[in-house]
Amino acid sequence: MIKPHGSDTLNPLFVLDDTARAELAEEAQSLPSIIVSSADAANAVMMGAGYFNPLTGYMNKADALSVANTMHTTDGLFWPTPVLCLVENTDGIHGQSRIALRDPNVDGNPILAVMDVEATETLSDADMETIAQKVYGTMDMEHPGVEAFYDQGRTLLSGPIQVLNYSYFEIDFPNTFKTAYQIREDIAKAGWNKIVAFQTRNPMHRAHEELCHMAMDRLGADGLVVHMLLGQLKPGDIPADVRDNAIRTMADAYFPPNSVMVTGYGFDMLYAGPREGVLHAVFRQNMGATHFIIGRDHAGVGDYYGDFEAQTIFQDEVPDDALDIEIFEADHTAYSKKLDEVVMMREVKDHTREDFVLLSGTKVREMLGNGEAPPPEFSRPEVAKILIDYYSNL
């Protein structure tokens, strides 16, 4: 199986031993504590689950700026986005070397992780601007990722962590949330050697489905892992439980048995376009995928990124030896009326825009909200029904 990023074996930061975890949880109750942001908590979950291997905790200021500027930590580890614990104030933990991090997304704010604080630093205006500009490519506060970044605070806590639980993800998505090490175990049990990963924060329409088929066929893959984001999204995005139902329905109906794993991960979307595309590749390697599909406007939002910047960053900025996972570059896929099938638009000749079934996201939402199913060339009827039911109850 493909090696994890940065180490020979996966080293999740979740305390796997039941006795040790119980002892740590008891100790944590007596530690000074702080309620962290949703983004901080999501980073802890990803480190706990092994997706952010080989990180051992939150980055300090020097590493954060180095990663923003060069996509490497100060000791040379390739990493595309800073992994931070930013807080507004440290009144309850000031001067403490060992603290408990409390979950902002679960009632009662239970302890999520224990942290050994190695440094408490302040990010200046210039630091914030550097990180925002390098990671998100913009300083526009209308960008949801930039807005979320600035909303967290300026005080940076860094140091190793030990993770006690996976926040609300295990509870709310018991059949979907999987850690990187659990997915590796499932891949080994399935006997797959070549594995394609598909990232989604949306339901999968016909073009997404056919893109996965194309990738599997062209690569000779043994299996597909549909890996959906389960964390915080921007307003207007479809909730994870609805997406989960729609994707499972599609996979069961239109893929061969035992060829698809439908799973999810606990992270808040950054909407960081190219940089987030690279991050997605890192943690797909950590979960055992050998290939990762990156298509048009991957991890983008609005008009902040070019259609294929999340592909060209691998050619222009990611060193050849940085990652073992391979990228499957996909063009915009759409249904061809001439060929009566879904195709990559760049691969067909003698087509005009009118020869494809193309619908904007706004148009699709409008149709679904009116109880109208998009054409079957765009969305499978089983999927459309699930989405119509969701929109009718808003």
Active site residues: 201-202
Buried/exposed code over 56-78 (b: 16+ C-beta within 10 A; e: otherwise): ebbbbbebbbbbbeebbbeeebb
> CB-based burial of residue 105 (10 Å sphere; 0-12 exposed, 13-18 middle, 19+ buried)?
buried
Q: What is the DSSP letter of 344?
A: E
Phi-psi group of 82: left, alpha or beta (phi > 0 → left; psi -120 to 50 → alpha; rest → beta): beta
Nearest alpha carbon to residue 202 among 150, 153, 156, 239: 239
Nearest alpha carbon to residue 81 among 142, 123, 134: 134
Distance of alpha carbon 130 from its chain centroid, rounded? 22
Q: Could you please report the per-residue DSSP string of 224-272?
A: EEEEEE-S---TTSPPHHHHHHHHHHHHHHHS-TTSEEEEEE-------
206/380 Cα distance (integer angstroms)? 6
**CA R_g for the chain:** 21
Q: How far apart are the first and last CA of the chain?
A: 44
| Residue 291 to residues 97, 108, 220, Cα–Cα distance (Å) | 41, 40, 11
Contacts of 376 by beta carbon, 8 Å cutoff, 6+ apart:
206
Q: Could you please report the per-residue DSSP string of 187-208?
A: HHHHT-SSEEEEEESS---HHH
